[in-house]
Amino acid sequence: MRYYILFIFLFYTCFSCSELVSNPDNTIENNKVENSNSTEITKAEFAIIIHGGAGTILKENMTPELEAAYKIKLEEAIRVGHTILKNGGSSIDAVQKTINVMEDSPLFNAGKGAVFTNAETNELDASIMDGSTLNSGASAGTTTVKNPINLARVIMENSPHVMMAGVGAERYAEEQGLAIVTTDYFFTERRLNSLHRVKEKEANKEKTIDTESAYLDFYDTDIKNYKFGTVGCAALDKSGNLAAGTSTGGMTNKRYGRIGDSPIIGAGTYANNNSCAVSSTGWGEYFIRAMVAHDISALMQYKGLSLKEAAKEVIQDKVPHLGGDGGVIAVDKNGIMVAEFNTTGMYRATMNDKDELNISIYKD
Ligand code: ASP
């Protein structure tokens, strides 16, 4: 009888060990080493991924000069965060400082380059999340805060709240000593032209692409097409902490007080050390309804999906099924990075702990 119990015990022990090492996922990612029947995850020391918006971005509509300008700015931004991480800094610092570079550039729909609302104003949204504590901060509809991601961070760290909006959020930014600008700081001719163009199409009930978002997307006169230009960053630091942040001007022609997904924790931004860090860009209404960023994390946590599988399920299936479009960038707790989008392009870049830099704009 004793031998029988011992045999049963050994049998179950061996069986459960082999379950632990086998993995049906065949994708070879950044830091994943694979052989025929098992997958060994090699944890990266640190990793960083960014986006500058997704959309109908086609090479034939892009000049070499503009493409170069985007790539230079994406590289400048990601190197800021990468240096912080390499020197042992926190993922939350890396995310904030990387986003600041893109917020200060007129190329992206965030900070300086924010799109115009229907009333020809600029109303900015941002959020940030710390995956080690699930602390998060968000600001919505501000018109005078130079770098909304900085406001999101002080709301997270110095206030008892998660989200503040409008004049109250602006007042808090002032109290916290953040850089305040006059509203004309956000004026750019290019974005105003985009608004006029979208309004014209709206007045003529004319759609230029096959979705309703033609009335709301950010029409970029330079790339002669529609895109979302929000910026975002997700990072893993040497202490194993994940963080993500997102900053945006929202959508061109948005109405009275409209808030998109970018400042919504779980939709535009999410980070959890147990799964991944995610930043979204796309048609915000759908990203809120699909709870995109949290859904990716939840699929990993509760269903055991890999980051790639989870991002694919949400971006290629759930969001388009509802009628929305866009994409995400994300990094998991092992430093595996994924950029998933259902549009023709997404401005994006990655850097790993081997200093390898990758910048892409189009689908392939
Ligand atoms: N998601 C943003 C919004 O709906 C737009 C963008 O990604 O550019 O406000």
- CA–centroid distance, 227 to ligand 1, in Å, is 9
Share of the chain above pLDDT 90, in %: 72
The confidence score (pLDDT) of residue 198 equals 83
Give the residue, 208 or 20, on which the prediction is more confident: 208
CA pair distance 345, 341, nearest whole angstrom: 8
Is residue 62 very low, low, confident or very high in pLDDT (cuts 50, 70, 90)? confident
CA pair distance 329, 86, nearest whole angstrom: 20
Torsion sign over Cα 252, 327, 297, 299: positive
pLDDT at 13 over 80: no
Is the distance from the beta carbon of residue 89 to the nearest atom of ligand 1 less than 6 Å? no
Q: Which two tokens stand for residue 16?
A: 């459960």
Q: Which two tokens stand for residue 229?
A: 């230009």
- Mean pLDDT to the nearest integer, 180-185: 98
CA pair distance 265, 346, nearest whole angstrom: 22
pLDDT at 21 over 50: no
pLDDT at 12 over 80: no
CA pair distance 105, 232, nearest whole angstrom: 14
3-state helix, strand, coil in the chain (%, to 5): 40, 25, 35
Taking CA atoms only, the protein residue closest to ligand 1 atom 7 is 281
Report H helices in the chain: 2-21, 64-86, 91-103, 148-158, 166-175, 189-203, 284-289, 292-303, 307-312, 319-322
Atom of ligand 1 at shortest distance to CA of 259? 9
Atom of ligand 1 at shortest distance to CA of 125? 9
For the chain, the residue count is: 364
The confidence score (pLDDT) of residue 220 equals 55
Contact indicator for 150, 178 with CB cutoff of 8 Å: yes
Q: Tell me if residue 211 falls in helix, strand or coil.
A: coil
The confidence score (pLDDT) of residue 59 equals 82
pLDDT at 223 over 80: no
Give the residue, 204 or 29, on which the prediction is more confident: 204
Is the distance from the beta carbon of residue 113 to the nearest atom of ligand 1 less than 6 Å? no
Residue 48: C-alpha distances to residues 23, 95, 247, 315, 348 (Å): 25, 8, 16, 20, 11
User: Among 39, 56, 230, 248, which one carries the catalytic annotation?
Assistant: 230
The confidence score (pLDDT) of residue 42 equals 75
Taking CA atoms only, the protein residue closest to ligand 1 atom 4 is 284
- Mean pLDDT to the nearest integer, 242-255: 95
Is the distance from the beta carbon of residue 248 to the nearest atom of ligand 1 less than 6 Å? yes
pLDDT at 119 over 80: yes
Q: Global pTM? A: 0.87
Is the distance from the beta carbon of residue 342 to the nearest atom of ligand 1 less than 6 Å? no
What is the overall mean pLDDT for the chain? 87
Residue from 99, 125, 281 to probe ligand 1 pocket by mutation (most atoms less than 8 Å from CB): 281
Each residue of 303-331: b (16+ CB within 10 Å) or e?
eebbbbbbbbbbbeebbeeeebbbbbbbb
Atom of ligand 1 at shortest distance to CA of 268? 1
Is residue 222 very low, low, confident or very high in pLDDT (cuts 50, 70, 90)? low
- CA–centroid distance, 324 to ligand 1, in Å, is 11
Domain ranges of the chain: 2-41, 45-362
The confidence score (pLDDT) of residue 36 equals 42
The confidence score (pLDDT) of residue 80 equals 98
Q: Which range (224-233, 285-294, 330-339) has the least confidence?
A: 224-233
The confidence score (pLDDT) of residue 219 equals 52
Taking CA atoms only, the protein residue closest to ligand 1 atom 9 is 250
CA pair distance 78, 301, nearest whole angstrom: 28
The confidence score (pLDDT) of residue 60 equals 78
pLDDT at 24 over 80: no
Look up 144 and say whether it is catalytic: no
- Mean pLDDT to the nearest integer, 320-344: 95
Is the distance from the beta carbon of residue 261 to the nearest atom of ligand 1 less than 6 Å? yes
Q: 């702990």: which residue's tokens?
A: 353
Neighbours of 43 (CB within 10 A): 15
Is the distance from the beta carbon of residue 194 to the nearest atom of ligand 1 less than 6 Å? no
Tens digits of per-residue pLDDT, 137-172?
A: 999 999 999 999 999 999 999 999 999 999 999 999
- CA–centroid distance, 175 to ligand 1, in Å, is 28
- Mean pLDDT to the nearest integer, 163-190: 97
Least Cα distance to 262 among 243, 287, 235 occurs for 287
The confidence score (pLDDT) of residue 279 equals 98
pLDDT at 202 over 90: no
Residues 6+ apart with CB under 8 A from 234: 48, 49, 50, 95, 242, 243, 244, 271, 276, 277, 278, 279, 329, 330, 331, 337
Q: Which one-letter DSSP state was computed for residue 118?
A: T
CA pair distance 294, 140, nearest whole angstrom: 19
Is the distance from the beta carbon of residue 327 to the nearest atom of ligand 1 less than 6 Å? no
17, HSE (Cβ side, Cα atoms, 13 Å):
6
Is the distance from the beta carbon of residue 282 to the nearest atom of ligand 1 less than 6 Å? yes
> What topology does CATH give the domain 45-362?
Glutamine Phosphoribosylpyrophosphate, subunit 1, domain 1 (3.60.20)
The confidence score (pLDDT) of residue 209 equals 45
- Mean pLDDT to the nearest integer, 283-288: 94
Tens digits of per-residue pLDDT, 257-283?
A: 999 999 999 999 999 999 999 999 999
Q: What is the CA radius of gyration of the chain?
A: 21
